[in-house]
Structure 1
Amino acid sequence: MNIIAIMNHVEALFKKVPVKELQAQLESKGFQVVYPEDEQDLIKLIENNARICGVIFDWDTYSMDLCKTVNSLNEKLPLFTFANEQSTLDISLTDLRLNISYFEYTLSSAADISVKIKQAVDAYKDAILPPLTKALFKYAEEGKYTFCTPGHMSGTAFNKSPAGSIFYDFYGANTFKADISISMPELGSLLDHSGPHKEAEEYIARTFNADRSYIVTNGTSTANKIVGMYSAPAGSTVLVDRNCHKSLTHLMMMSDVTPIYFRPTRNAYGILGGIPQSEFTKSVIAEKVAATPGATMPNYAVVTNSTYDGLFYNTKFIKDTLETKYIHFDSAWVPYTNFNPIYEGKCGMSGEAMPGRVFYETQSTHKLLAAFSQASMIHVKGDIEEESFNEAFMMHTSTSPQYGIVASAEISAAMMRGNSGKRLIQESIDRAIRFRKEIKRLRTEADSWFFDVWQPENIDKTECWKLDPKDNWHGFKDIDDEHMYLDPIKVTILTPGMTENGELAETGIPASIVSKFLDEHGIVVEKTGPYNMLFLFSIGIDKPKAMQLLRALTEFKRGYDLNLTIKNMLPSLYAEDPSFYKDMRIQELALGIHKLTAQYKLPELMFKAFDVLPEMKLTPHAAWQEELRGNIEEVPLSDMVDRISANMILPYPPGVPLVLPGEMVTDASRPVLDFLEMLCEIGKHYPGFETDIHGVYQHEDGSATVKVIKA
C-alpha cells in the first residue's frame, strides 16, 4: 500500500515545479506517484486499486464534492489539498470530520509536506488494521529469538534442507515469522480470549452485529460442533434441518441426543429447498416429539441458512415462531449478509436480541470472504454462560492454533468495515446480476439452444428475489409466501434436459459433462447437479473471470453442436478409459447419461426421496457406538432395505445426508436408495462420472456396499 494519486490539475496549475519537488520527496520515502486525468479517472483508480493510500488535489478546482465522493468509497482514505492564501475554505463542521489535510503551494516546502503525508498514511494504515493482525505484524518485525514451538523457528529449520528451502521460498519469509507459539504473552490467547485475541473478537462482534464472536480455526464443521455441544446436553432432544451439513450429523454421533427433523424440500433439479413454515410451529413439533421414542420438547434447533443453492429464510418469522431457547443458523455459505441491506431480516444476526433467547450464526469466513481455508466464526446474540461455552470451544480447538488463520479471519472483518466493505459486497451483487442478464441475452440470441439461469423473470431490482408460490421458475410445490428468497450472488446455471414443468425432456445435456469441459478450461464449478451447476460470485470474482466463464460456456455449445469427439473435446475424460471413449462423440455421451437418468425417473425421485424419510431405529450416537463395538457387517447397497445403517450416507458435494446412522430404509422410503443406485449406475457405465458418496463403498468390479448394524 504505497500509491499516492496526484490530480493532474495540480501539476499543470503550478508549472510542475512544486509538485515535482513533492513527487521526488514522496518517492524517496517509498511511495509511487500516479496522475489521474480527472475525477472520473481517480474514482476508477480507487475502485480498482486498493493500494491507493492518499489523494492530492487542488481545492479551487475540486473542492468538497471530490472529498465526499472519495469518502463514499473509503471514508478513511487520507486526502491532501493545496489552496492559495486567497482561497475560501467554505466548509461546515460536518465537513471538517472528513479526513483532509490542507497545504499551501510554496517552493522548498516539499520535504516538510512529504513528512506530513507519510504521517497521515501511517495513521491510515494503523486505523484500518485490526488489533490482532497489528500485534502479529509487530511481533514478526521484531525478529525475536525463540526457544519454544514451532520447531522451524521462523523458518530457519526449513533453510537447512534442500526440500525445506524450496518450501520456504514458495511461501515467503513472513509466513514463517508469523507462525508462532501460543506462548507469546504479547499476543494473548485464543483459548482464554485474552489480549489482542480478545480485542480481535470484540472487533469482529461489532463488525458483524453480534453480542459475542469467536474465531474458529478448523472451519464451520468445528464451529457447529462447539455450538451444539454447549446448547444440547446429553439426553436432550434437538431439532435439526434434514438438509444439514454432515458436521451436524457428526455432532449427533458424538453427543447422546435424540434428533427430530425439520422436513426438507427439493425440486426436480435436486436443488435444496426450504423448510415449510408449519414445521416451526409448536403443534407440529409436539406431534414429532410424541412420535419419537425418548424425545422431549427440544430447546435447541439448527436451520441451514442459506441453503447450499442460495436460498435465505425470513429469519424473523423463524425467531418469532420457533420456541426453542437456542436457534442456530448454520450460515457457512453467507458470511457477507451484514454488509448489504438486501439481506436484512434474512440472517441470524439481523434485528435485536430477544429476552431469554440465544441466536447463533456459524459462518465459514474463508468461503465467501477473504480468509485462509478453515477460518470460521461463531456469532452470538443473547446471553450465554461464557465459561461453559468456552469449555465446549476448547474441546474442539487446538492448543497450538495457526495464527495466520486467526489473523485472516480478523482481516476479513476489517475488509468489510465501512464504505469500502459495503462497496465490495455491492460490486459482487452487481457483477452476478450482470452475468445473469448476459446468460439470458445469449439464450434469446442462440440459434438452437443455450444455457438458462435459475431465477425469476424480472431481476431488474437489486434484491433477494422472493420464491413466490404463484411462480413456476423455482420448481417447488406448495411453498409459503414471504418465506424463501434467492441470493443474487449464488448463480445456478441450468443445462438442457428438463422442461418447465419439472419433467425430463426427450434429450438433455447432463451438467456433469459441462463441468468436466469447464474444468478442462481452468474453471472449477462449486456444485454440479443432474442438470444444474452452481457458481459463487464472491468478492474475489472480477470481470475477466466472469467473461472467461461466459466464453467457456459458448465454447461448449459450439463443440456440442459440432458433435466433437470425446478425445478432442474432453481429453482428460478420454484419458480415463481410451478404449471405452474411442470414437465416442459428445452428443452420444450426453444422450447415454440422460437415458440412464430417465430410466430412474429422476424428477419423481427428487420429490419422493424427501416425502418419506428413512425410519430412525437408533439415535446417531447409539449407532456409532454399535460400530465402535464391531457390531456391523457390510452388505450390497441394494440389500440395505429393512437394515439399520451404521454410517451416514451422502453424496458430496453438497454433503447433505440422505441416510443417517441408525436409520432404516424401508419400502416407503425406497426412493432414497433408488437415487443412490442411480448415481452408482452412472459411474459404473461411464468412467470418470463416479460420484463421491460418503458411506457407500464402490469397488473395482462395479459393486457397491454399505455398513449396517448386525441383525
Structure 2
Amino acid sequence: MNILAIMSPEGAYYKDEPIRELDLALTNLGFKTIYPRNNADLLKLIENNARICGAIFDWDQHSTELCTEINELNEYLPLYGFINTHSSLDVTVNDMRMVLYFFEYALNAADDIAKRIRQYTDEYIDTITPPLTKALFRYVEEGKYTFCTPGHMAGTAFLKSPVGTLFYDFFGAKTLKADISISVTELGSLLDHTGPHLEAEEYIARTFGAEQSYIVTNGTSTANKIVGMYAAPAGSTVLIDRNCHKSLAHLMMMTNVVPIYLRPNRNAYGILGGIPQREFTRESIEEKVAMTQNATWPVHAVITNSTYDGLLYNTDYIKQTLDVPSIHFDSAWVPYTNFHPIYAGKSGMSGERVAGKVIYETQSTHKLLAAFSQASMIHIKGDYDESTFNEAYMMHTTTSPHYGIVASAETAAAMLRGNPGRRLINRSVERALHFRKEIQRLREETEGWFYDIWQPEEIDEAECWPLNPDQNWHGFANADTDHMYLDPIKVTILTPGMDEQGQLAAEGIPAALVAKFLDERGVVVEKTGPYNLLFLFSIGIDKTKSMSLMRGLTDFKRGYDLNLRVKNMLPDLYAEDPDFYRHMRIQDLAQGIHKLIRKHDLPSLMIRAFDVLPEMVMTPYDMFQHQVRGHIEECEIGDLIGKVAANMILPYPPGVPVVMPGEMITQHSRAVLDFLIMLCSIGERYPGFETDIHGAKLTEDGRYWVKVLKLPAA
C-alpha cells in the first residue's frame, strides 16, 4: 500500500519544481507515484485501486470540492493540499474532520514533506487495520523464536524437507509465520476473549450492529451448534426451519431436544421458499405442540435467513410474532445485510432489542465476504449468560485456533466499515443488477430460445424484490404480502422447459447440462436445479468473471443450436462412459433427460414431497444413540417405507433434508420416496448425472443404500 496519486499543478514553475523534488523523495522512501489527468481520473483510480494511500493536489485548483468527493469514496484516505502564501483556505470546521494536511510550495523541502507523508501514511494504515490483525502483523514482524506449537515453527520445519519446501514456497513465509500458538500471550485468548481477541470481537459487534459478537473458526456449522447447545436445554422443545442446514440436524442428534418443524413453501422450480406468516403465530404453534409427542412450549426457534436461493424475511414480523424466548437466524448466506439500505429490516441484527427475547444471528463470513474458509461469526442482541454461553462456545472451539482465520474474519468486518464498505456492497448489488438486465436484453434480442431469469419483469432500481401474492413471477402459491424478498445478488438463471407454475413444455434443456458445460470452461455454478442455475454475485465478482459467465451461457446456446456431439461439447461427460455417449448429440441428451422428468412429472412430485413430512418415530438424538450402539442395518433406498432412517437424507439439489434421523416414510408420505427414486433414476439412465444424496451410499452398480434402525429379531 504505497501508491500516491499526484495531481500536477498547472502552468507555474514555482509549483512544478517542488513537486518534481517531492516525487524523487517519495520514490526514495518506497512510494510509487501516479499522475491522474483530471479530477474524474483521480476519483476512478481511487475507486478501483485500493492500494492508493493518499492524494496530492494543488489547493488553488481543486479545493474542498475534490476533497469531499474523495471523502465519499474513502473518508480515511489522507489528502495533501499544496498552498502558497496567497492561497485562500476557506476551510470549515466540517472540512477539518477530513484527513486533510497542508504543505507550502518550497524548494529543498521535499525530504521533510516526504517523511511527513510517510508518517501520515503509517497512521492511515494503523487506522484502517483492525486490532487483532494489527497485533498479529506486529508479532510476525518481530520474528520471535518460539519453543511452542505449532511444530513447523514459523515454517522452518518445512524447509528441512524437499516436499516441505514446495509447501513453504506455495503458501509463503508470512502465512506460515502467522500460524502461531495460543501460548503467545500478547495476542490474548480466543477462548477466554481477552486481549486483541476481545478487541476484535468488540470491533466486529460495533460493525455489524450487535451487542456482542463471537468469532468462530470452524464455520457456521459450528456456530449453529454453539447457539443451540446454549439456547436449548435437554428435554426442551425447539422450533426448527425444515429447510435448515444439516448442521442443525446434527445439533438435534447431539442434544436431547424435541423438534417441531416450521414448514416453508417451495415452488415448481424447486426454489426454497420462506415459512408462511401463519406458521409463526401462537395458534399454529399450539397446534404443532398438541400433535407432537413429549412436546412442550418451545424455548427456542431457528430460522434460515436467507434461504439458499436468496429469499430474505421481514425479520421484524418474526421477532414480534414468534412467542419464544430466543430466536436464531441462520444467516450463513447474507453477512452483508447491515451495509446497504435495501436490506433494512431483513436481518437478525436489524432494529432495536425486542423486550424479553434474545436474538442470535450466525453468519458465514467466508461465504460472501473476504475471509478464509471456516471464518464465521455469532452476533447477539439481548440479555444472556455470557459465562454459560462461553462454555458452549468452548465445547465446539479448538484450543488451537488458526490465527489467520480469526484475522480474516476481523479484516472482513474492517472492509465493510465506513464509505469504502458501503461502496463495496453497493458495487456488488450494481454488478448483479447489470447482469440481470443484460440477460433480459439478450432474451429480447435473440432469435429462438434464450435463458430467462427469476425476477420481476421491472427491475429498474436496486432493491430486494417482494414476493407478493398479486404477482406470478415467483411461482409461490399463497405468498404473504411484504413477508419475503429476493436478494438481487443471488441470480437464478432459468433454462427452457418449464414455466413458473410447473407446466412442462414439450421440449426442454435441463440445467444440469448447462452446469456441466460451464464447469468444463472454468465457471462453477453454486446450485443446480431441474431448470435453474444459481450464481452468487459476491463482492469478489468483477466484470471479467461476470462476462466469462455470460460468454459461457451464450457458447452453450451456440453449441446446442448446432446440435454438436456430446463428445465435442462435453468431453469430460463423454469420458465417463464413451460407449454410451459415442454417437449421442447434445439435443438428444437434453430431450432424453427432459422426457424422463416429464414422465415422472418432477415439478408436482417435488412439491408433494416437501408438502408432507415423514412420521417422527423418535427424536434425532434418540436415533443417534441407537446408531452409536450399533442398532442399525442397511437397506436399498427403494425399500425405505416402514423403516426408521438412521441419518438425515438430503438430496443435492435442493440441498435440504427430506428425511430426518428417527423419521419413517409411510404410505402417507410416499411422495418423499418417489421423489428420491426419481432423482436416482436419472443417474441410472444417464451416466454422469447421478444425484448426490447425503445420507445415502452409491455403490458401483448404481444402487443407493441407506442406514435404518435394526428391528428386533422376531
Amino acid at match of 2:614: P
Matches of 1:270 and 1:160, distance apart in 2? 53
8 Å contact from structure 2 (residues 8, 58) kept in 1:
no
Match of 1:539 in 2: 539
Aligned residues: 711
Matching of residue 46 in structure 1 with residue 38 in structure 2: no
Higher mean C-alpha deviation, range 6-15 or range 681-690: 6-15
Any idea what the Cα deviations from partners look like across 1:544-592, whole Å, max 9, x if unmatched? Answer: 1111111111100000000000111011111111111101100011011
* Unpaired stretches in structure 1, ≥5 consecutive residues: none
Match of 1:273 in 2: 273
Matching of residue 517 in structure 1 with residue 542 in structure 2: no
Alpha-carbon shift at residue 355 of structure 1 (Å): 2.3
Amino acid at match of 1:627: Q
8 Å contact from structure 1 (residues 239, 260) kept in 2:
yes
From the superposition, tell whether residues 263 and 86 of structure 1 become closer, same or farther in structure 2 (CA, over 3 Å).
Answer: same
Matching of residue 507 in structure 1 with residue 517 in structure 2: no
Matches of 2:570 and 2:233, distance apart in 1? 52
Higher mean C-alpha deviation, range 499-508 or range 207-216: 499-508
Matching of residue 472 in structure 1 with residue 441 in structure 2: no
Matches of 1:542 and 1:688, distance apart in 2? 31
Match of 1:319 in 2: 319
From the superposition, tell whether residues 292 and 16 of structure 1 become closer, same or farther in structure 2 (CA, over 3 Å).
Answer: same
Any idea what the Cα deviations from partners look like across 1:113-147, whole Å, max 9, x if unmatched? Answer: 10111111000000000000000000000111111
Match of 2:116 in 1: 116
Match of 1:616 in 2: 616
Matching of residue 627 in structure 1 with residue 633 in structure 2: no
Matching of residue 93 in structure 1 with residue 93 in structure 2: yes
Match of 2:452 in 1: 452
SS at match of 2:647: coil
Alpha-carbon shift at residue 655 of structure 1 (Å): 3.4
8 Å contact from structure 2 (residues 9, 15) kept in 1:
no
Match of 1:19 in 2: 19
After superposition, where does 1:305-454 map in structure 2 within 5 Å? 305-454=305-454
Matches of 1:20 and 1:255, distance apart in 2? 70
Match of 1:298 in 2: 298
Matches of 1:12 and 1:494, distance apart in 2? 61
Matches of 1:502 and 1:479, distance apart in 2? 16
Match of 1:173 in 2: 173
Matches of 1:224 and 1:534, distance apart in 2? 24
Matching of residue 643 in structure 1 with residue 643 in structure 2: yes
After superposition, where does 1:665-684 map in structure 2 within 5 Å? 665-684=665-684
Higher mean C-alpha deviation, range 641-650 or range 224-233: 641-650
8 Å contact from structure 1 (residues 619, 661) kept in 2:
yes
Amino acid at match of 1:161: S
Amino acid at match of 1:558: R
Match of 2:555 in 1: 555
Alpha-carbon shift at residue 167 of structure 1 (Å): 0.3
SS at match of 1:635: strand
Matches of 1:172 and 1:153, distance apart in 2? 14
Alpha-carbon shift at residue 74 of structure 1 (Å): 0.3
8 Å contact from structure 2 (residues 202, 213) kept in 1:
yes
Match of 1:186 in 2: 186
Amino acid at match of 1:504: L
Matches of 2:111 and 2:704, distance apart in 1? 76
Match of 1:231 in 2: 231
Alpha-carbon shift at residue 606 of structure 1 (Å): 2.1
Match of 2:287 in 1: 287
Matches of 1:258 and 1:546, distance apart in 2? 45
Matches of 1:461 and 1:431, distance apart in 2? 12
From the superposition, tell whether residues 653 and 157 of structure 1 become closer, same or farther in structure 2 (CA, over 3 Å).
Answer: farther
Amino acid at match of 1:482: D
Matches of 1:271 and 1:136, distance apart in 2? 43
SS at match of 1:250: helix
Matching of residue 203 in structure 1 with residue 203 in structure 2: yes
Matches of 1:32 and 1:278, distance apart in 2? 61
8 Å contact from structure 2 (residues 8, 16) kept in 1:
no
8 Å contact from structure 1 (residues 75, 99) kept in 2:
yes
Amino acid at match of 1:488: P
Amino acid at match of 1:492: T
From the superposition, tell whether residues 6 and 12 of structure 1 become closer, same or farther in structure 2 (CA, over 3 Å).
Answer: farther
Amino acid at match of 2:312: F
From the superposition, tell whether residues 10 and 174 of structure 1 become closer, same or farther in structure 2 (CA, over 3 Å).
Answer: farther
Alpha-carbon shift at residue 12 of structure 1 (Å): 6.5
Matches of 1:155 and 1:461, distance apart in 2? 50
Alpha-carbon shift at residue 710 of structure 1 (Å): 2.0
SS at match of 1:8: coil
Higher mean C-alpha deviation, range 631-640 or range 487-496: 631-640
Percent identity between the two aligned chains: 68
Any idea what the Cα deviations from partners look like across 1:401-421, whole Å, max 9, x if unmatched? Answer: 000000000000000000000
From the superposition, tell whether residues 11 and 232 of structure 1 become closer, same or farther in structure 2 (CA, over 3 Å).
Answer: farther
Amino acid at match of 1:456: P
Alpha-carbon shift at residue 164 of structure 1 (Å): 0.2
SS at match of 1:16: helix
8 Å contact from structure 1 (residues 567, 574) kept in 2:
yes
Alpha-carbon shift at residue 501 of structure 1 (Å): 2.8
Alpha-carbon shift at residue 263 of structure 1 (Å): 1.1
Alpha-carbon shift at residue 707 of structure 1 (Å): 1.4
Amino acid at match of 2:632: I
After superposition, where does 1:688-703 map in structure 2 within 5 Å? 688-703=688-703
SS at match of 1:80: strand
Alpha-carbon shift at residue 302 of structure 1 (Å): 0.2
Matches of 1:12 and 1:337, distance apart in 2? 50
Matches of 1:647 and 1:43, distance apart in 2? 56
Matches of 1:20 and 1:570, distance apart in 2? 58
Matches of 2:558 and 2:81, distance apart in 1? 55
Amino acid at match of 1:196: P
Match of 1:221 in 2: 221
Matches of 1:691 and 1:82, distance apart in 2? 66
Match of 1:567 in 2: 567
Amino acid at match of 1:689: F
Match of 2:150 in 1: 150
Any idea what the Cα deviations from partners look like across 1:267-318, whole Å, max 9, x if unmatched? Answer: 0000000000000001110110011010000010000000000000000000
Higher mean C-alpha deviation, range 514-523 or range 678-687: 678-687
Matches of 1:414 and 1:206, distance apart in 2? 11
8 Å contact from structure 1 (residues 368, 539) kept in 2:
yes
Matches of 1:530 and 1:30, distance apart in 2? 55
Match of 2:83 in 1: 83
Matches of 1:24 and 1:477, distance apart in 2? 69
Amino acid at match of 2:374: Q
SS at match of 2:633: strand
Any idea what the Cα deviations from partners look like across 1:659-698, whole Å, max 9, x if unmatched? Answer: 0001111122111111111111111111111121111122
SS at match of 1:303: strand
Matches of 1:634 and 1:619, distance apart in 2? 20
Any idea what the Cα deviations from partners look like across 1:522-564, whole Å, max 9, x if unmatched? Answer: 1000011110000000000001111111111110000000000
Matches of 1:118 and 1:671, distance apart in 2? 69
8 Å contact from structure 1 (residues 8, 38) kept in 2:
no
Alpha-carbon shift at residue 703 of structure 1 (Å): 1.8
From the superposition, tell whether residues 422 and 6 of structure 1 become closer, same or farther in structure 2 (CA, over 3 Å).
Answer: same
SS at match of 1:624: helix
Matches of 2:34 and 2:92, distance apart in 1? 30
Alpha-carbon shift at residue 18 of structure 1 (Å): 1.1
Matches of 2:354 and 2:573, distance apart in 1? 55
Alpha-carbon shift at residue 8 of structure 1 (Å): 2.9
SS at match of 1:485: strand
8 Å contact from structure 2 (residues 529, 654) kept in 1:
no
Alpha-carbon shift at residue 653 of structure 1 (Å): 5.1
Amino acid at match of 2:422: K
Matches of 1:389 and 1:168, distance apart in 2? 38
SS at match of 2:545: helix
SS at match of 1:658: coil
Match of 2:160 in 1: 160
